[in-house]
Structure 1
Amino acid sequence: MPGLIGCSARHARRAERSLPVLHEYPTFDYDQVDYITSDTHFSHARISELAARPFGSAGEMDAELIRRWNQTVAPADVVLHLGDVALGPIAESLPLTAQLHGRKFLVPGNHDRVSPATQSRRAIERFAPLYEQAGWIMLPEIIQGTRRGTLLLASHYPYSGDTQDADRHTSHRPVDRGAPLLHGHTHDRENGPVGHQFHVGVDAFGYAPIPFTLIDAWLDDLRREEEEIAAIVRERTAMGESTPLSELAEKLGIDLAALGDTPE
């Protein structure tokens, strides 16, 4: 299994126990994150037109994004950004993001100059130092880990959904095996989760990062739903159903062993 990114040895041991199914993605310590966001599009001249943002110019948008970010995030906070941080002349737009508070992790989106979905290896090597100079800690396209013991994925891309008619960059999207997924990319203005996907982009949340406690509440809801389904499965088995409990649980996509675990 790949090493944990930004994770203590204790968290690494817990995550290794909690992730028996998904081995293909690099792991990340979500327990360290205070805020999450996506799709800021700093200096993108047309994003207000394309995404119906209430700004008269890219400069006005940049100033307001910085103000709202720093009003929300403290210098010591940890922020996870799920891609498309800045566009336009990148040597001018990226330095603006150095003004943003916090320790900033970036999962690249298709518009980032370090995106494996849209950039060559040579281009990524060329532009990566610009991101690092602006204070960004680069992450892979898809990361997995746990938040308070619950399995969680994050990617710029949702399992499905796009701003266009057809899903783009499908080979760079996570495989949907039922794990909760945090994502951006869609510029959806309706906030909150849809099933086991949660869009965290600024267009849905007042053009500012959101506290990860909101994600915690969503994960708690998902966990309660799983526990209710698991209880139904156990009840049916206790009533003499011929199908074994383990087989029913597998059909419903429930990890009964994980439901019985107590997070550290």
Structure 2
Amino acid sequence: MDDNPATEATEPSVFDFDQVDFVTSDHHFGHARIIELAERPFASLDEMHGELIAAWNRLVGPEDVVLHLGDLALGNREESIGVTAALNGRKLLVPGNHDTISSVYRCTEAHKQQTRDLLDQWGWEVLPENLIGTRSGLHILASHYPYRGDSQSEERHAEARPADEGLPLLHGHTHHRNNGAHGHMFHVGVDGNDFAPVPMTVIDEWLDRLGGDCLTTGRV
């Protein structure tokens, strides 16, 4: 694991996707406005927290590995990251633009280190911002960002997005309600997946549907 993540957002890191049981993103713990912005069906922040944790723990067991693709917690990080202690499993985090440890988030190094310490305290392992690796021998990528698309009308954070070389990409960021696959990208954010993590068996079925041509290119 990389203890000093996100200093070079576009530098890929070899990753073993075979170890992952679930993938997800964009919980926005501690962010009350996301209920309005993403039109989430919750009456309060406490209700959102409770439903997100319940949806996670219904699927994820204590020994399962969850890959979280960013925008985990906002607001008072000590409180919002602390909420995640209730989540089952081994938790891996790829930072997103709202995570203070991200390369695109502007704050002091002391603030970033404080967030790293909190993540470590509550059981998170921080990974680089772009992951390239294999799943059952097939090359895939994971990032907070899609190759194309945004939650706003303007596409942001071009410097942090992975380059589209045809590899399948797991991503969050958009908050789109459309579920799952669109071309060779797969949206794993909670807003498009019933507020729950996506089992990697679903990703495996998508990779099978894509076929082998685009899965054997790229480098690791």
TM-score normalised to structure 1 length: 0.76
Q: 2:144 aligns with which of 118, 134, 156?
A: 156
Deviation at 1:37, TM superposition (A): 0.4
| Distance of 2:29 and 2:108 partners within structure 1 | 23
Q: Does 1:205 align with 2:167?
A: no
Deviation at 1:126, TM superposition (A): 2.6
Matched position secondary structure for 2:186: strand
Percent identity of equivalent pairs: 55
AA partner of residue 176 (structure 1)? D
AA partner of residue 59 (structure 2)? T
Matched position secondary structure for 1:219: helix
* Paired positions, count: 209
Can you list the C-alpha shifts for 1:157-214, whole angstroms capped at 9, x where unaligned? 0011001111111000000110100000000001021111100000011111110000
- Structure 1 runs of 4+ aligned residues shifted over 4 Å read none
Matched position secondary structure for 1:193: strand
Matched position secondary structure for 2:163: coil
Q: Which runs of 5+ in 2 are unaligned?
A: 3-9
CA contact 2:11–2:130 (8 Å) conserved in 1: no
Deviation at 1:119, TM superposition (A): 3.4
Can you list the C-alpha shifts for 1:131-181, whole angstroms capped at 9, x where unaligned? 111111000110100000110000000011001111111000000110100
Matched position secondary structure for 1:52: coil
| Distance of 1:102 and 1:94 partners within structure 2 | 15
Matched position secondary structure for 1:154: strand
Deviation at 1:113, TM superposition (A): 1.5
Q: Does 1:65 align with 2:47?
A: no
Q: 1:146 aligns with which of 121, 125, 134?
A: 134
Matched position secondary structure for 1:28: strand
| Distance of 2:180 and 2:17 partners within structure 1 | 19
Q: 2:161 aligns with which of 140, 151, 173?
A: 173
| Distance of 2:11 and 2:50 partners within structure 1 | 39
| Distance of 1:114 and 1:56 partners within structure 2 | 29
| Distance of 1:127 and 1:42 partners within structure 2 | 14
Q: Which residue of 2 aligns with 1:25?
A: 12
TM-score normalised to structure 2 length: 0.90
| Distance of 1:164 and 1:170 partners within structure 2 | 14
The structure, 1 or 2, with the larger RCO (C-alpha pairs under 8 Å, 6+ apart) is 2
Structure showing the higher helix proportion among its residues: 1
| Distance of 2:194 and 2:75 partners within structure 1 | 22
Q: Does 1:94 align with 2:81?
A: yes
AA partner of residue 88 (structure 1)? G
Q: Does 1:128 align with 2:116?
A: yes
Q: 2:206 aligns with which of 218, 223, 232?
A: 218
CA contact 2:69–2:172 (8 Å) conserved in 1: yes
C-alpha distance 24-90 of structure 1, shift in aligned 2 (>3 A): closer
Q: Which runs of 5+ in 1 are unaligned?
A: 7-22, 227-253, 260-264
Can you list the C-alpha shifts for 1:49-84, whole angstroms capped at 9, x where unaligned? 000100001111001111111111000000000000
Deviation at 1:24, TM superposition (A): 4.2
Can you list the C-alpha shifts for 1:106-149, whole angstroms capped at 9, x where unaligned? 00001112111113460322321011111110001101000001
AA partner of residue 56 (structure 2)? W
Q: Which has the larger radius of gyration?
A: 1
CA contact 2:147–2:164 (8 Å) conserved in 1: yes
Deviates more, 1:24-33 or 1:137-146: 24-33
Matched position secondary structure for 2:151: coil
CA contact 2:100–2:107 (8 Å) conserved in 1: no
